[in-house]
Structure 1
Amino acid sequence: MSDPKPVEFRGSALDDLRAFPASARREAGHQLDQVQHGHEPDDFQKKTQKTTQRDLDLAAKRYSDLVKELAQ
């Protein structure tokens, strides 16, 4: 078995994850472990029809910050 890839949390992502209920934290941990070991994550079932604009904006900001950091 290969070594897992490291995970880096951006912004408040780790604190946000820690605020999840225990069952959601467990599922998120499982999915992260899958990705770290080079496997595809399991399919998620969305409970809402549309991702909120707040969540889309947060993802865009974190991605932009990462791109800026990597360009340095």
Structure 2
Amino acid sequence: MDILKPLRWLGDSPKAVQRFPPAARRMAGFELQGVQHGLHPSDFKPMPSIGAGVEELRVWVESGTYRIIYLARLEEAVYVLHAFPKKSQQTSPRDLELARSRYEQLVQQRKRKNPS
């Protein structure tokens, strides 16, 4: 049975994706839908420096390069932590820190909801 996990957008990530050009939005939507079904995107990489299970979806279109940092390993949802255009070879420290901060907030919220 194929279960579709809901997407949960953290911070301004939905607005950030809305600012992507149409081709990048379409590709990101297609790839995220696959992630919701438990598939890996066609181009992604693990981001353990941000948190356990965090991955970066890489979108390449003619107008530029775009990234979506997400966590799909939790059973209740796919969490989109951050989305941004990639302007240089290395991801900016600001983008990494923002994604890390949202990941840590998510972990803390889940601990408060489900104390062990």
Report the TM-score, using the length of structure 2 for normalisation: 0.56
> Following TM superposition, by how much is the alpha carbon of 1:4 offset from its aligned partner in structure 2, in angstroms?
1.1
* Match of residue 110 from structure 2: 70
Q: Structure 2 counterpart of 1:30, which letter?
A: F
CA–CA separation in structure 2 for the residues paired with 1:68 and 1:15: 24
> Following TM superposition, by how much is the alpha carbon of 1:5 offset from its aligned partner in structure 2, in angstroms?
0.8
* Match of residue 21 from structure 2: 21
Count of residue pairs brought into register by the alignment = 72
* Match of residue 59 from structure 1: 99
CA–CA separation in structure 2 for the residues paired with 1:59 and 1:34: 21
CA–CA separation in structure 2 for the residues paired with 1:41 and 1:49: 20
Q: Which has the higher strand share?
A: 2
Q: Extract structure 1 runs of 4+ deviating beyond 4 A.
A: none
* Match of residue 50 from structure 1: 90
> Following TM superposition, by how much is the alpha carbon of 1:17 offset from its aligned partner in structure 2, in angstroms?
0.8
Gaps of 5+ in 2: 44-57, 66-85
Q: Which has the higher helix share?
A: 1
CA–CA separation in structure 1 for the residues paired with 2:105 and 2:16: 18
Aligned identity (percent) is 42
Gaps of 5+ in 1: none
